[in-house]
A and B are shown apart, each in its own frame.
Chain A
Amino acid sequence: MLFGFEWDTTNALTLALSILPILMVGLWVTLQATVLGFFVALVMGMVLAVLKGARSRLVSWPAYAVTEFIRDTPLLVQLFFLYYVLPEYGIVLPAFLTGALALGIQYSAYTSEVYRAGLEAVGHDQREAARALNLSRARTFTHVIVPQAIPRIIPAMGNYLVSIMKDVPVLSVVTVLEMLNVARIVGDRTFDYLVPLSMVGGIYLILTLVASSGVRWLDRNLPNQGIPLK
């Protein structure tokens, strides 16, 4: 029994059906970690992108260094660091929060590049037209550059959302009860790993296929000339 659900080990099918609700509890945690991690990646990535775009090297250089450091060290190292080292300095976070934060930080290095590439892809001619019309820098950014960058940014972000979801099982090593961890516990107790682990693989496959087709749909249907301003 796990989370109040009994399993039925009569055969593989009954086992599969009986543990499905248990895996769903794990899936719910996986999705929450995905969304929270993605949110952190979006916000922190934007901050990094803005800092990297700063004119002062004193500001931009540390942002590049942080990005490079995050990208060149394994997610698991960062996760262990946050989970085991921070408490020594009095910062104790629940495992779930630590895990989602680690995912978000890891992916912020990638999302910051997405923002930057998206903004830079808007042609210089647009900035010149705005300057010739005497539009302020801020207005040019918010009403000329960003609306044209968004359709380039969103599909790339969607791909990272899928990647984050696939990286959530890493959080099982710090005791987060996401779907893979739940399946492992079921295996430990029923002595049958084949069924729960296959189900986790299958559920991931379905989720990824659905999410990827969603990203492709967005890519096709976003107006490539930019978000219309009425």
Chain B
Amino acid sequence: MNDPIIRFDNVVKRFGDHTVLDELNFDIRKGEKVTIIGPSGSGKSTVLRILMTLEGIEGGVVHVGGEPLWHEHGPVGLVPASQAHLHRMRGQLGMVFQQFNLFPHMTVLRNITEAPVKVLGLGKAEARDRAEELLELVGLSDHAQKYPHQLSGGQQQRVGIARALAMRPNILLFDEPTSALDPELVGEVLNVIGQLSEEHDLTMLLVTHEMRFAREISDRILFFDQGRIVEEGSPAQLFTSPQRERTREFLGSELDRVLAV
């Protein structure tokens, strides 16, 4: 039980000549709520995208639920993962995207039920019941038959959260879930995420610029810069008495940004 549910072991990620993640190491325990903060281009989102299998890695090993994600156990050591392995591993994870990425030609209900029916093999009625529960959870019960373009950004993102939850992931990844929203719509999405953070079993990994919110819901904060973790600790530690100069600098600039708005 004490084994980490996510482990990055010397993970290297490059885009061409640019090294995004530079021998990155960190662990996340089951049920932990962890927020990654850091300047843009620091590799925060890349961590989530690697976990969701949207980006491969160039070095190291990523473990999810005690198993290598991008590798399989071969006859002699680890070999690159097959599509079948990736398919099986993906079942543990769900992702909420910055731009929501809803399917625009499907109703809200269909957005949520499509994968449970086609991937998990749920019956249509069961999937619909489950979707309706999730829509209630995110406060959108009346919108099941609408199309995404008929909803506000905040509502679309709440559908995005319901859609990810419908696949019953153990780990939920949030990639800047409020960055594309008008300021007055941020609160409704954060409320839903805050509510989810009460769930003991759900592991959450969040990339955000909402510092106050990160402080409220996180068990731990990781501060990223240039593909490495510069500093990590509890929200109280990191926000009130950051040890590194680089962390202080970043938190100061974020404060300026918020005050400037």
Contact = CB atoms under 8 A, between A and B. Distances in A.
Interface stretch (B89-97, B196-204, B240-248): B89-97
Interface stretch (A65-73, A130-138, A208-216): A130-138
A14 interface: no
Nearest to B115: A133
A34 interface: no
Contacts of B236: none
A134 B164 contact: no
B54 interface: yes
Contacts of A227: 105
B42 interface: no
Contacts of B167: 133-134
Contact of A228 (B52, B53, B91, B147): B147
A147 interface: yes
A226 B54 contact: no
Interface residues of B, number: 29
A132 B175 CA distance: 13
A223 B110 CA distance: 17
Contacts of B114: 133, 135, 143
B85 interface: no
A13 B43 CA distance: 79
B99 A132 contact: no
A147 B111 CA distance: 14
Contact of B102 (A128, A129, A134, A228): A129
A151 to B, nearest CB: 9
A135 B105 contact: no
Interface in A132-188: 132-136, 139, 143-144, 147-148
Given A143-B114, A225-B105, A229-B110, A125 B119 contact: no
Interface string A186-230: 000000000000000000000000000000000000010111111
A229 B105 CA distance: 6
B110 A230 contact: yes
Interface in B97-132: 97, 99, 101-107, 110, 114-115, 118-119
B220 interface: no
B14 interface: no
B118 A135 contact: yes
Most buried by A among B93, B101, B163: B101
A172 to B, nearest CB: 44
Contacts of A229: 105-106, 110
Given A135-B119, A143-B114, A129 B103 contact: yes
Contacts of B91: 134
A224 to B, nearest CB: 9
Interface string B45-78: 0000000111000000000000000000000000
Contact of A147 (B90, B105, B147): B105
Contacts of A9: none
Given A131-B53, A135-B115, A230-B110, A223 B105 contact: yes
Given A125-B97, A132-B90, A134-B115, 13 more contacts: A128-B101, A129-B103, A131-B90, A132-B164, A133-B115, A133-B164, A133-B167, A134-B87, A136-B118, A226-B103, A228-B147, A230-B107, A230-B110
14 contacts: A125-B99, A126-B101, A131-B53, A131-B90, A132-B93, A132-B164, A133-B115, A134-B167, A136-B119, A148-B105, A223-B105, A225-B148, A227-B105, A228-B147
Query: Nearest 7 A-B pairs (CB), nearest first?
Result: A226-B105, A225-B104, A133-B115, A129-B101, A132-B95, A125-B101, A134-B119
Interface of B: 52-54, 87, 90-91, 93-95, 97, 99, 101-107, 110, 114-115, 118-119, 147-149, 163-164, 167
